[in-house]
Amino acid sequence: MSPDLGAAAVPDSAAPAPGLRERKKERTRQALSDAAVELFLEKGFDAVSVAEVAAAAEVSKPTLFRYFPAKEDLVLHRFADHEDEAARVVAAGRLAGTAPLDALYAHVLDGLGRQDPVTGLCDHPAVLAYHRLLYGTPALVARLHAYRARSEAALADALGGDPLDARVAAGQIVAVLRILAEENAARIAGGETAGEVAADAVAAAGRAFRALRDGLPY
């Protein structure tokens, strides 16, 4: 499916470039995920077996499970680069002397400006179909909760300070990002275009981050 779901990864200048072996593994993961999502969109998540996905991707089931331990992960692979994205934005902002909430707000505005699918402000048919698959499948929604929990934990670590304060702040920030994206996606699913929603999306992000700044020491 094109475009891919999500924003470009936040650069990490301290991280070494992946080697050839890792790049080949990532290409295989992507190919397996793409084959699976195509089948799930065509037939429905519950109607497709792991064996069918493996056959479509021309690999064995054991090979598929080496890359994806659960069927749901084949779909949520498109979120993989974003699991610790908020944490990386905060860390990169600190290196540049930017407060965590300011760095996150700038990142959200950048995503909205690019109509990044992860912001919900994207009306590309392939993205809309992916969203219907994801949010219309209970098993995938349940798996998404685990993804968000890991995202909160990574963000709390990046925020630092008192552990409880950091966890509370991370939970609020991740919830705000989710709600903003869901509001944008719901309006587009209701028939509006991304262009029609864009100004309201930017305004909503501004209101939400003002509230966060008023209540959080970050």
| Segment 34-91, tens digit of pLDDT | 999 999 999 999 999 999 999 998 999 999 999 999 999 999 988 777 889 999 999 9
pLDDT value for 17? 62
pLDDT value for 83? 87
What value does the mean pLDDT of the chain take? Answer: 89
Find the helix or strand (DSSP H, E) in which 44 lies: none
Q: Which amino acid is at 179?
A: I
| Segment 82-139, tens digit of pLDDT | 889 999 999 999 999 999 999 999 999 999 999 999 999 999 999 999 999 998 999 9
Q: Which amino acid is at 212?
A: L
What size, in residues, is the chain?
Answer: 218
The band of 20, judged by pLDDT with boundaries at 50, 70 and 90, is: confident
Which class for 125: exposed (0-12), middle (13-18), buried (19 or more C-beta within 10 A)?
exposed
pLDDT value for 82? 85
**Dist CA 29 CA 17 (whole Å):** 18
**Dist CA 86 CA 185 (whole Å):** 20
Tokens 């499916």 label which residue? 1
User: 11 pLDDT exceeds 90?
Assistant: no
Q: What dihedral angle (degrees, nearest 10) is formed by the CA atoms of 5, 129, 53, 44? A: 140
Measured CA distances, 131 to 64, 140, 142 (Å): 24, 11, 14
In 3D space, the residue among 104, 80, 134 whose CA is nearest the CA of residue 205 turns out to be 104
User: Do residues 150 and 136 touch, judged by C-beta distance below 8 A?
Assistant: no
Measured CA distances, 28 to 36, 85, 96 (Å): 12, 22, 35
Tokens 């944008």 label which residue? 184
In 3D space, the residue among 78, 186, 85 whose CA is nearest the CA of residue 140 turns out to be 78
User: 6 pLDDT exceeds 60?
Assistant: no
Residue 121 phi/psi, 5° resolution? -95, 65
User: Do residues 207 and 200 touch, judged by C-beta distance below 8 A?
Assistant: no
